[in-house]
Amino acid sequence: MSDLAYAVSALRRFNRFHTRFVGALGGSLLGSGFTLTEARLLYELATRDGWRASDLAKALGLDPAYLSRILKRFAAEGWLLRERSTADGRALALRLSEAGHAVFRPLDEASQAEAADRLRALDEPGRARLVAALTEAETLLSGAFAAQGPTPVIRPHRPGDVGWVIAAHGRIYAEDYGWDIAFEAFVAEIAAGFLREFRPGLEQGLIAERDGQILGSAFVVRESDETAKLRMVIVDRPGRGLGLGKALVREAIRFARTAGYRRMQLWTNDILHAARAIYIAEGFKLIAEEKHHSFGQDLVGQNWELVL
């Protein structure tokens, strides 16, 4: 069997598993009375106002006539409102009515509860592996991976890189989590200490780069003869979905082992779910956590350790 034929067989096998797993083979999703397509339409309409029917059909890959029949049913039930679009006066914008949101709410809660029940069967490392695998599958199958262009490389830091690292932390954490400028100052202090006391062979800055554009970083910093710290791990938006966070952490672990450290430690916060999933998948164990108020937020700081 060729590589392509083997991949086709594997993908079809997963599709059969997944359609059964999500209940797509039955006529009523989670006993709601809605088909899988109708439930998905309710989700899209509940989470975003202003859809045009043509855009909705294109986004979901639905036949426009089929979509039209479902929308007519929703409107007849009083769940759907059609209003003149403010962006295009010739088009009608769709949104759920209060009754529509009331119908969607228990379906959404039931779906959330079912997913949580299934995931409780996995331990935390297992859930981390699943999240990473699903993210990678979505990236590969959506074509986003091929569209990214040349493969990124991970290289040692050089002059000028650390300025990017500081700025990226300040910008991304402000945008994604609402942290104030004190966090940028915190990272700048760590970065300054790294540059001022840099010990080649025992410490290393790792920079992910593609075509001269920096996409992410991770730093190995000496704590003691036996302990290294993993610091300033970040992946910017253009580099997300490429597995760079995992690759940077693994390269940092490899460097620490080669340098002779016996353990690696890191400090993070519990809201950084994607980063924590990587650390758990690589074998880090939570050793302590504590609530604190920093960077304008109430947070839970966590210390993790990996025996090398």
Q: Residues 263-282: what's their mean pLDDT?
A: 91
pLDDT at 144: 56
Residue 269 clears pLDDT 90, i.e. is over it: yes
Residue 72 has pLDDT above 60, yes or no: yes
CATH architecture of structural domain 145-307 = 3-Layer(aba) Sandwich (3.40)
Q: 71: pLDDT confidence band, cut at 50, 70 and 90?
A: very high
Mean pLDDT score across all residues of the chain: 87
Contact 232, 169 (CB under 8 A): yes
- Report pTM: 0.56
Using 50, 70 and 90 to split pLDDT, how confident is the model at 149? low
Residue type, 34: F
The answer to whether the beta carbons of residues 96 and 42 sit under 8 Å apart is yes
pLDDT for position 171: 92
Domain spanning 3-120, CATH architecture: Orthogonal Bundle (1.10)
* The predicted structure's pLDDT at residue 1: 56
Q: Which residue has the higher pLDDT, 136 or 14?
A: 14
Model pLDDT, residue 48: 82
> What is the C-alpha separation between 169 and 188, in angstroms, rounded?
9
Average pLDDT over residues 139-161: 76
**Domain boundaries defined on the chain:** 3-120, 145-307
Can you tell me whether residue 233 is helix, strand or coil? strand
Q: What is the pLDDT of residue 93?
A: 85
Confidence of residue 153 (pLDDT cuts 50, 70, 90): confident
pLDDT in tens, 220-239: 999 999 999 999 999 998 88
Which residues lie closer than 8 Å to 235 by C-beta, 6 or more apart? Answer: 208, 215, 216, 244, 245, 248
Sign of CA dihedral 32, 34, 35, 38: negative
- Over residues 251-260, the pLDDT tens digits come to 999 999 999 9
Residue 45: which H helix or E strand, with range? helix 36-47
**40-54, 56-70, 134-148, range with the lowest pLDDT:** 134-148
Q: Hey, what amino acid is at 216?
A: G
Closest CA to 262 of 215, 308, 212: 308
Measured CA to CA, the distance from residue 278 to residue 250 in angstroms comes to: 9
Q: Do domains 3-120 and 145-307 have the same CATH topology?
A: no
Beta strands in 58-202 (DSSP E): 80-84, 92-96, 153-156
Res. 191: pLDDT tops 90: yes
pLDDT category at 170 given cuts 50, 70, 90 is very high
- Mean pLDDT, to the nearest integer, of 168-176? 91
pLDDT score at 152: 85
Is 142 a residue whose pLDDT tops 90?
no
What radius of gyration, in Å, describes the C-alpha atoms of the chain? 24
Q: 119 — phi, psi (to 5°)?
A: -75, -20
pLDDT of residue 232: 96
Out of 54-63, 112-121, 130-139, which region has the weakest mean confidence (pLDDT)? 130-139
Q: How far apart are CA 2 and CA 119, in angstroms?
A: 34
